[in-house]
Structure 1
Amino acid sequence: MNHDTTSSTRKEGLLSTHSVYGAPCWVSLTSRDVKATEEFYSAVLGWQWRPARLGEPFRIALADGVPVAGIAAVAAMWQMAVAWTPYFAVRSADEAASRAQERGGTAAVGPISLPPGRAALLADRDGATFGVWEGELFSDWDAWRTKRPAFIRLHTRDAFDAAIFYGEIFEWASGQGCCEVRYEGDEVVLRHEGQVVARIESGALGAAPDPAVRPHWQVHFAVEDVAACARAAELHGGSVLSLDADEAVLRDADGAQFTVTARRLGS
C-alpha cells in the first residue's frame, strides 16, 4: 500500500492493516462450489452473503451485517486444497513474504494485488498454511472481533519454534504490533488488550497422513450453541469429528475442517 492510499483510508475513517499490525485480521475458505458453501454455513453458523469485489467465485460472509469471512470457490480451478486459512495484518505483504522465506517458509501464492490491498498465501517451516494481508480491512476490526472467530489455533510440532518463526515475521516481541505474546502452560498465546486472538500448541506430526494431525491453523468460530451447530453440520452434508459441551470439531460438506467454540470461551 502506498502512502496516498493509507492517508485516504484514514480520512474516510476506515482502518488499514497498519492499525492492527501483526494480528489476525481475516479468515478465508477455499471451496469448490459457491452455492453449496453458502447453504452449509448459513445453516450451521447463520451467515448471510454478499458478492465480493473479485468476481463471481468470491463471496463475503456476514454475521448480523458485519463481514466476518471470505469464500473463494476456486479450489478446483486453481488446484488448491479445500481449507480455512487465517490472514495476518502486515504493513507490507512483500516484506512479510520475504521474511517468511528467509526463515524457511514458502510462498504458495503471491504477493499479488487484490483490491483493496495486497496479499500472499504462505506456509511455515512445518507446512502450516497462513496468509498475510496489506491494505484496507474488510471490516471494522473491533466489530469483526465481536462477530469473528473466537480465535485461531496453530497445531504444530514445536510451539516454541513456531512462535519464533511467526514472531520474527510479525514482530510480536518488538512492541511494533498491536499484540503481545506470552507462554502460558504448554501453549504460546497471542493477546490483544487481554483477549486471546491466537494460540500455538505442540503436538501435530509433520508427516502424518491425516490433515487433522498435520501442522495446520484451525479456525474457531464463536457460537451460542455448539450442539446445534454440530447437528446442522450433519444435516447439511458435513461431519462431526469430535464433540463436547463447549467445543466441536466439524468438517463442512466439501471437507474443510473448522471448530465451533462456546462464545464464553473466546477470551
Structure 2
Amino acid sequence: MGEPRARVRCVPAVPCWVSLMARDLDVAQSFYGPLLGWTFQPGPDRWGPYLWAVVDGVEVAGIGVAAGDWQPPVAWTTYFGTDSADRAAEGVRERGGTSAVGPLAFDQGRIVLAADPAGAAFGVWEGEPGVENWMKDPGAPVWIELRTPDPFAAALFYGEVFRWDDQDIDHFGVQYEHERVVLRSEGRTVAALCAVPGAAPHWEVFFSVADTDRAVEEAVKLGGGVASPAEDTPYGRAARLRDVEGGLFSVIAPTAGF
C-alpha cells in the first residue's frame, strides 16, 4: 500500500484529529474502506490494535479497538489540538468538565480523554504543531459539530479551555452564523456548536463525499443504517449514518465556499 506521505498536524485551539473506537477492525475496514475510499496502515498499538485511515497518501483518521475485555460504545472521538495537555486537562476540571484519562504519552505526542460539563466526550492532543488544515477531498473529515442543548455555554467552556481569545485573529476566528457558533481556521470553516434540544450532547464527525445520496445508498448496502436522511444545509448536502456496529457519523458534500 505504500507509506503515507503526510499526517494531519496538531493545530492548537481547533479540532484536528478524529478516531473511532470499534469492536472489530475487520468489520470497520470493510465498511469505511469502500464507503469513504480509505486504505489502511498499521498505527501505534500501545493500547490495542490501531489503524491509520489514509486518503490520497494522507492519514486522516484512526480506528482502534480496546484491549482486554473492556467494551466501550462504538463512537467517534474528536481531538482538539493544544500546546499543553496538562494545562488543557487542568482547564477542563476547573471549568466543570471531566478529565477522564491522561495525559498519556504515545509516539505522536500526548493525549487526554475528557468530557465537557454537558457530558459531550472529546479528546485533547498535544503533538507536533502545524498549520495544515484537513483536506476537503472525499473521505477526509471536513466538519465537526457539537450537538448540545446550550451551545453558548459550551462555547464559553471550550473557549476558556483552549484559549480561543488568545489566538491570532489572522489565522483563527469564532463567529455566529446559521444558528451556530462557528470556528474558522486559516480561512476555512472547521467546526461548529449548535443547539439540539433533547439530544445527548456529543461531537459529530462529518466526512466529505462527492455525492451524499449515493453515499447513503452505499452505507446501507454495506450493512450500515440511516439515522437522519440526506438534506440540504448551509454547508452542503448532509446525512447522518450508522456504521455496522452502531457508530454514528455524518457525510456531507461541501459547498464550494465551505
Q: TM-score, normalised by structure 1?
A: 0.84
* 2:154 paired residue number: 162
- Cα deviations by residue, 1:5-48 (Å, 9 ceiling, x for unpaired): xxxxxxxx99863xx21111100000000000001001211110
Which runs of structure 2 are paired with 1:202-217 in the superposition (5 Å)? 202-205=195-198, 213-217=199-203
How do residues 79-228 of structure 1 correspond to structure 2 at under 5 angstroms? 79-136=71-128, 142=132, 144-147=134-137, 148-175=140-167, 178-205=171-198, 213-228=199-214
Compute the displacement of 1:120 (Å).
Answer: 0.6
Question: In structure 2, what is the Cα distance between the partners aligned to 1:197 and 1:79?
Answer: 31
**119-128 or 108-117, larger mean C-alpha shift:** 108-117
Alpha-carbon distance in structure 1 between the residues aligned to 2:39 and 2:181: 34
Cα distance, 1:187 vs structure 2: 1.2
Report the secondary structure of 1:69's partner residue: strand
Give the AA of the match of 1:70: G
The root-mean-square deviation of aligned C-alpha atoms, in Å, is 2.3
Equivalent residue for 1:7?
none
Matched, 1:50 2:36: no
In the other structure, the counterpart of 1:31 is 22
**Which ranges of structure 2 fall in alignment gaps of 5 or more residues?**
1-5, 232-236
Q: Measured at CA, do residues 185 and 252 of structure 1 come closer, stay the same or move farther in structure 2, by a change above 3 Å?
A: closer
Q: Any idea what the Cα deviations from partners look like across 1:216-238, whole Å, max 9, x if unmatched?
A: 10101111011121111111111
Residues 1:61 and 1:165: Cα distance change in structure 2 (over 3 Å): same
Of residues 236-245 and 223-232 in structure 1, the stretch that sits farther from structure 2 once superposed is: 236-245
How far apart are the structure 2 equivalents of 1:14 and 1:264? 25
Q: Using the TM superposition, name which of 56-65 and 251-260 deviates more.
A: 56-65
Q: 1:111 to 1:244 in 2, by over 3 A?
A: same
CA contact (8 A) 1:15 1:136 kept: no
Shift of 1:264: 2.3
Distance apart, 1:191 and its partner CA:
0.4
2:31 to 37, 40, 43: 40
Residues 44 and 266 of structure 1: is their aligned pair in 2 closer, same or farther, counting only changes over 3 Å?
Answer: farther
Amino acid of the structure 2 residue aligned with 1:258: F
Residues 231, 28 of structure 1: alpha-carbon distance in 2 compared, 3 angstrom cutoff = same
1:244 aligns with 2:237: no
CA contact (8 A) 2:174 2:182 kept: yes
Cα 1:15–1:58 change in 2 (3 A) is closer
**Residues 241/75 of structure 1: CA separation in 2 closer, same or farther (3 Å cut):** farther
Task: Tell me whether 140-149 or 30-39 shows the greater mean CA deviation.
Answer: 140-149
Q: Is the 8 A contact 1:48 1:61 kept in 2?
A: yes
Indicate the SS of the match to 1:79. Answer: coil
1:75 and 1:198 map into 2 onto residues whose CA distance is 31
Q: Look up the equivalent residue of 2:60 and give its one-letter code.
A: V
Relative to its length, the structure with more strand (as a share) is 2
More helix by share: 1
Instruction: Write the distance in 2 (CA, Å) between the matches of 1:82 and 1:132.
Output: 19
Structure 1 residues without counterparts, runs of 5 or longer: 1-12, 206-212
Deviation digits for residues 115-145 of structure 1, max 9, x if unmatched?
12000111000000110101136xx763633
In 2, Cα distance between the equivalents of 1:14 and 1:27? 12
Shift of 1:75: 7.8
Structure 1 Cα separation of the partners of residues 181 and 158 of structure 2: 11
How many residues are paired up?
244
Contact 2:23-2:71 at 8 Å conserved across structures: no
CA distance in structure 2 between the partners assigned to 1:243 and 1:15 by the alignment: 30
Q: Percent identity?
A: 44
